[in-house]
Amino acid sequence: MMQSKQLGNTDMQITPIGFGSWAIGGGDWAYGWGAQDDGDAITAIERAIELGVNWIDTAAVYGLGHSEELVAKAVAGMKSRPLIFTKCALVWDDSHQVGNCLKADSIRRECEASLTRLKVDAIDLYQIHWPNPDADIEEGWMEMARLQEEGLVRHIGVSNFSVAQLRRTLSIAPVASVQPPYSMLRPAIEHELLPFCLEHNIGVIIYSPMLSGMLSGAMTRERAANFAANDWRRNNKEFQEPRLSANIALAELLKKIGRPHGCSAGEVAIAWTLRHPAVTGAIVGGRNAAQVEGIIKAGEFRLSEDELAAISRYIADMPQ
């Protein structure tokens, strides 16, 4: 069984792995991952919960509401419902253009729309998706605190915030959690953010531990070259040379480390993020049940000092 951990100052105990619902939103928006079969998405969520995952992370903007609707469908018949975390402050217009808004009335409208799509009475964790516009952080956070006081959301957190921005929110109301990107290719949060969260008892749920599939072990040059036109990764430097070859070689090292333990490269990559004491859990996406089955062991796998050192040596020599 996966050992759960308390999320920051909340009463929520979460498993080391949560189901990430970005990719299942489909390709019909600016940051889509290409076409997605809704049936596959629902079975992916069901399989994750069957295997012991107890929380789902989504956002209103994923598929412009579609991801939240799929989460609602997937959990509808479940005896014990997983915790549902979602996000606000990325809004879209009738022409599907996405923009940032932290105005109080906008956040309230978003919350009500998410509650309707998710078919829940209260959101377990409601997060500000991006700290933009920066000048409106205080207004947005005050409204988040009001939503919590009214019981529409149980806990409030942030995503993609810096330490300076976290300090501003903490002066208004406690922050349950922060959601930053973190992987062996994106370790920047180790310097300032993770120590700050440990010190202030703020939960950390990280995203992109496999860098959007790059370290899953399934990425190849051919696959990267043939991404769908509406897959946002086409324009990401990690999926282009010279980084692409170095990253694929890193995934090969992770495969080699995982093999004796019966773990995939992706499971090693996720376990690497979970080794940090400040990290409460990792958000891991799955577009079908097989992808979920390919990452689940990361919740229990622990890397040895020698294995961690081998990864560090490789990364130090990678092209920047």
Give the Cα separation of 179 and 191 in Å (integer). Answer: 16
Per-residue pLDDT, 296: 95
pLDDT computed for residue 213 by the predictor: 86
Position 68 scores a pLDDT of: 97
pLDDT of residue 319: 79
User: In angstroms, rounded to a whole number, what is the distance separating the alpha carbons of residues 136 and 106?
Assistant: 12
In whole angstroms, give the CA distance from residue 3 to residue 43.
Answer: 24
Q: According to the model, what pLDDT value does residue 1 have?
A: 72
What pTM was computed for the model? 0.94
What is the rounded CA–CA span in Å between residue 55 and residue 70? 15
At residue 6, the 3 state secondary structure works out as strand
CATH class of 5-217+274-299: alpha beta
- From start to end of 137-196, where are the E strands? 153-159, 177-179
Would you state the structure tokens that stand for residue 313, as one six-digit string? 């040596």
Low-confidence ranges of the chain (pLDDT < 70): none
Q: Looking at residue 196, what is its pLDDT?
A: 98
For 126-176, what is each residue's pLDDT tens digit? 999 999 999 999 999 999 999 999 999 999 999 999 999 999 999 999 999
